[in-house]
Structure formats: structure tokens, C-alpha cells
Chain A
Amino acid sequence: MSDAFARFARNPAALLAALLLAALALAAALAPRLWPIDPEAVDGPPLLHPFTDPAHPLGTDRLGRDLLARLLFGARISLVVALAAAFASLLIGSAVGLAAGLAGGRIDDLLMRITDAFQTVPGFLLALAFVSVLGPEAESVVLAIAASSWTGPARIVRAEILSLARRDFVLAAVAVGLPRVEIAWRVLLPNALPPVLAYACASIASAVLIESALSFLGLADPNRASWGAMIAEGRAVLVREPWLSIWPGLALLVTVLAVNLVGEGLDDALAPRRARP
């Protein structure tokens, strides 16, 4: 594990991206202290241009709300929802993949057909359907994103389990007399997880995007600042006052890029034997 850490640290892009994400997470967590302006309060003249008033460095929106405060509070929603969704999809996917890979036979067939069924529906449509049924709360957004993205981890874990099951150290664990449950838990799962972790990390990026897209469409909680909702609000004045959409757009771009770079760095660090281009 320490080797993997060293390999990750040697990848400058991934390291930089990780630091950036850490800074973003910190800023989001400390938003009320760093920038103590209520993101929902009308705090200045509407449509104040950026860099004109030190009290509102990024300007204000059509209602006169501070954009920096909204951006920071939007990061909270985006990151928390995306992390929770990626974690939930990892959890569901690993459980399904582990069960399918271990049980084999009919149970495997059944679980994989269910996975197929989920995969045939485009992920975003599925999330859309979930949210429109469950309502706009953050929890249902998490559930919606998880429901549309657990299939990847499920397939990866199942494939890893099937290939691991033939390896000598798993056979040795059987021969020594480890019970099946313990082999699954102590031997198979830890060895199957690294590629899934890398995948899950990258899937945070798509969760950020799905969350933004849902709030752009007005399907997320309308009472909380969110990047997607900010872009949607800026759309009405996009031609004359583009910065309303540019700030949250930039935040999205940087976050998604950083998460993907970290995911790629993790993938390389955890699977060193794979040939790299």
C-alpha cells in the first residue's frame, strides 16, 4: 500500500489534482467562516459585475445574491451528493458483484440480468426518473445517481472474483480450511477492491455532473445554492451577463477534471503491473 502511495505521489498531475480537490473540499466545509455571507440573502445590487466591488469579488446574481458565497455553498452540495452517491454505488455494486461471483450458477445469472436491465437504460434518464418520483431532496438525488451507476462496480467486482477464485492463494485458503464467508471477506474482497476503488473515484466525476444536470433542470432542492441551478439561473441573461454561468461552469470543469485525474492516478498506482502508454 505504501508503494502505491509513493507511485501516486510521483504522478504530478494526480498529486496536483488531489491537492486542488482537498482545497476545494476544505473551502466548501469552511464556507461560513471563510466567506460569512448568506448565499440566499439579497446582499447587494443585482447583476454587479465581477471584480468591481471587494464586498462581492465575483459579482452578484439577478437578485443581488453574492456569487462567491453561492459558489462555495454550491460546492458543498455538489461534493457531498457526489461522494455519497459514489460511495452508495460502490457499496451496492460490490455487494451484487461479490454475491454473483461467489454464488455462480442461477444466482449469478439472475443478478447479472438485473445489472443488464439497469445498464440498458441510459444512466441519466434513470436518475431523472428516480428524482421525479422521489422528490428533490438531496437523499433522493444520491439514490438516483447510485441507482444509475452501481452496475460498473458490480461488473468489475464479479470479474475480479471469478479470476481470483482460480488463483493459488485462494485455493490455499480453501485447502487450509478457511470457511467460505471468511474467504470472501478476508481474501477475495480486499484483492478485488483496488480496481473498483479507482473506478469509483472516477465515477465521482460523473456523479458531480449528474447532480449538476439534475439541478440545472430544476429537479434538485430549489432552496439551496447548487452549481447546476446557478448555471440555469444565469441562462436567462447568458448573452449580456455571462459570468453568472461562467463561475459555476468553471467550478464544475475544474472539479470534474481534478476527480478524473485523481482516479487515473489511483488506477495507475494500484495496478502497477499493467503496461502504461
Chain B
Amino acid sequence: MSEASLLLEVEGLAKRWPGAAAAAVSDVSFALAEGERVALVGASGSGKTTLARLIVRLIEPDRGAIRFAGRDLLALSGERLRRLRAGLQLVFQDPLAALDPRRRVGRQVADPLRVHGLVPRADRPAAVAALFDRVGLDPALAERFPHELSGGQRQRVAIARALACRPLLLLLDEPVAQLDVSVKVQILNLLDRLRREEGLAWLLITHDLGAARAASDRILVMAEGRIVEEGPTAAVLAAPRAAATRALVAAEPRLPPPEPDPGPQPFTAPSVSPRTM
């Protein structure tokens, strides 16, 4: 990873909620290169979501520095902050909560096109239809309200809205945790296709090590607000050093080793493949 291609640099980021005994995020530093896939894993309550929201400045940090695309994110405000922030988009865990219940989803996808002046008004319906198409949704669904869509469709809408900002980095906050297993795979595949097509980088926040293995090259392990281990995903998960990482690996649900194939038998139940991701 060369210096020139660094997309996001986080240095000494810290946040303690007023009245809390321990910091939610303390002294977190890491960097992310253009097009890189990084996973951020940790038990619940380890500060992953807070970190993601600090990075997009939905929460103001107590200390630290965030550089995105070579610019100091914390020094900006108003119009310039809005423009720079469009480049790093958050995808939320619960797509139903992340979409405005009272507005048609097409309008919500059109918002970034409008407020960032990306697409003139006359071309917006076509642009929204194209975005729906890219995330595998029927453009006719643009007229629906969020509660009229399925969970997978809602997450696709949320992804389309993030894409509309023309981001360089996606912060995926447990994007498939609330979806059915079959839909999970579809959404992860969709994200991976979009990432390759758009040259996006992502920070995948998850507690699912299977997803991290499949969808990241490098992994950050978080515990009690700190990054306790960092390295290539396969290497870290194969030989975890930090206690938190070992605990995560140990807690990972495993399928029992495959039994020797007894040969064709009548009336067997369909088998489940051990790794679907």
C-alpha cells in the first residue's frame, strides 16, 4: 500500500460519552487504501458502530484526526463538509430504520443526485431508474414506501442511495445482519460486484467472521474501544494473537466435520453446503 493511494487515515480518534465510565472509542488509528477491503470485527459493544459514525462525523470525536482523500475532515464545516462527506457513505444495519418511512424510496435515492447537483432535474428519474437497476431492483419499486418493500429490497435501496453520492468508500455497518441467510449472500455479492465496478473501498463492520473472511483482505479487531489486532484477514483469523480475537474465533459457530459419504441412499434430506459465502 503506497502513501499516494491512501484514502482514509484515522489517527488517535477518541470518544467518551458524557457520564460513561469507559471511552466508547479510545485512541484508534488505522489507514485504508483506495479500493481496499477492510473488515472491522469485534464483540457487540466494542465500539465498532461508534467508530463508523465518528468517521463520517455523525458523532463529533473528543480527540483525533480524520483525513479523507487527502483532506482534514474535522476541519471542514457546512457546505464543504457536506460535499466531502458524500465520498464516504454509511450503509446501516437495519434498512427499515435507515429509510424515511414517509417518503417514497425513489425520492430518497434521488436526494443525493439533487443536493449535490450531480444530475439535472429532467434526467433524475432516469438516473434513479439506472441506480435501481444497478442494485438489482425493478425501477417501478421507486414509487413504493419503505414498509412496502422486503428487507433485502430495502437494503438494496439503501445501497442505491449510498451509490448515488458517488462514494469512494463504503462504511458497511453490519449490512446483512438483519437479513435472511439467502438474502445475505445476494447482498454481499451485490456489494462485491459494485465495489469492483466502481473501484470502491470498504470498511465492513461485522461480528460474523465468515463474512469478514469472504469480504476483506485486511482485518481490524476491536475490543473495549481499541484496535487490538490488525493484519491480513486470513493470517489473523488462522493464528489470532490478541485475546479478543481468540475469543471471537472460538465463538464462531462451526459445522461438524463432514461425515464420510455412505453412498447413495433413498429418502435423504437435501444436504446443506458448509460455506455459502
Contact = CB atoms under 8 A, between A and B. Distances in A.
Contacts of B164: 176
Interface in B247-261: none
A175 B115 CA distance: 12
Interface string B93-120: 0100111111100000001100110000
B86 A176 contact: yes
A167 B158 CA distance: 15
Contacts of A172: 90, 92, 98-99, 158, 161
15 contacts: A167-B97, A168-B94, A168-B98, A169-B98, A171-B98, A172-B90, A172-B98, A172-B99, A173-B111, A176-B112, A176-B161, A177-B115, A177-B116, A179-B115, A186-B103
Counting chain A CB atoms within 10 Å of each CB, which of B86, B103, B158, B164 scores highest?
B103
A49 B170 CA distance: 81
Contacts of B89: 175-176
B165 interface: yes
B195 interface: no
A143 B167 CA distance: 51
Nearest to B146: A169
Interface of A: 167-169, 171-179, 182, 186-187, 190-191
What interface size band does chain B fall in?
A: 20 to 34
A106 B89 CA distance: 32
Contacts of A177: 82-83, 85-86, 112, 115-116, 165
Given A168-B92, A168-B94, A182-B115, A175 B56 contact: yes
The 3 closest A-B pairs by CB, nearest first: A168-B97, A177-B82, A168-B98
Contacts of A191: 100-102
Contacts of A173: 100, 111
A62 B158 CA distance: 71
Interface of B: 53, 56, 58, 82-83, 85-86, 89-90, 92, 94, 97-103, 111-112, 115-116, 158, 161-162, 164-165
A175 B83 CA distance: 10
Contacts of B56: 175
Given A175-B89, A176-B89, A169 B82 contact: no
Counting chain B CB atoms within 10 Å of each CB, which of A169, A178, A182 scores highest?
A169
A175 B89 CA distance: 7
A217 B34 CA distance: 76
A272 to B, nearest CB: 11
A191 B115 CA distance: 21
Contact of A187 (B100, B115, B161): B100
A188 to B, nearest CB: 10
A175 B85 contact: yes
Contacts of A178: 111, 115
Contacts of B112: 176-177
B97 A169 contact: yes
A173 B89 CA distance: 11
Given A176-B162, A176-B164, 20 more contacts: A168-B97, A169-B99, A171-B53, A172-B90, A172-B98, A173-B111, A175-B58, A175-B90, A176-B111, A176-B112, A177-B83, A177-B86, A177-B116, A177-B165, A178-B115, A179-B82, A182-B115, A187-B100, A187-B103, A191-B100
